[in-house]
Amino acid sequence: MSDPNSVTWIFLINGCYWDSFRTVFFGLGSLMVRIYAESCCPDEAIDVFREIQARGMRPDTVTVMSGLSDIRLKGTLLDVYAKCGSLKNAYSVFHSDGHRDLVMFTAVVAGCAVHGMGKEALMIYSLMMDLGIKPDHVFITTLLTACCHAGLIQYGLQIFDSIRTVYCMKPTMER
């Protein structure tokens, strides 16, 4: 481009304008998704979210999470991230909400189990105990699986023993 003419300048300015527009639109769109979600307007939040996608932009985890006010949906999203190997995003979802329930704890431990991260699963279990959340048979089975996949047999045996003594559950073939 040794001799730019007016057409060249128009294309350059237009490109910069649209690039700036995309950046501003994405930022405003993400903000709008959050405002609608927090104002109990889920249909509008989803419409804006779809518009962001229709314009070829990929919403980030924060934008996705702002549209998910139901803790079960967050648990599902966490489960999908964890099982697909995106543990960074799974942890982001997990730590984004102070109101974690058994579903969210089970999902993150399942992700750790799938990827052989038994020590991380035990840390999540410890956090759950500190928060006073009682495990169910699904959580215990998932935690035992995490211990098994990571070779933490001793920890697994301790957890298995606690089924009856601490949680007053009857051990079965499944757990």
- Going by C-alpha positions, the residue among 161, 94, 111, 166 that lies closest to residue 135 is 166
Angstrom distances, CA of residue 13 to CA of 4, 7, 10, 20, 21: 12, 10, 5, 10, 12
Angstrom distances, CA of residue 89 to CA of 120, 126, 134, 160, 164: 15, 21, 25, 30, 35
User: What is the CATH superfamily name and number for domain 70-175?
Assistant: Tetratricopeptide repeat domain (1.25.40.10)
Residue linked to tokens 């490109």: 15
What per-residue confidence (pLDDT) applies to 154? 95
**pTM of model > 0.85:** no
Q: Show the tokens assigned to 29.
A: 């769109």
Digitized pLDDT (tens) for each residue of the chain, 175 residues in all: 555 555 555 554 444 444 444 444 445 666 666 666 656 666 676 677 677 767 776 666 555 555 555 566 677 777 777 877 788 888 888 888 777 888 889 989 999 998 999 999 999 999 999 999 999 989 999 999 999 999 999 999 999 888 888 877 877 765 5
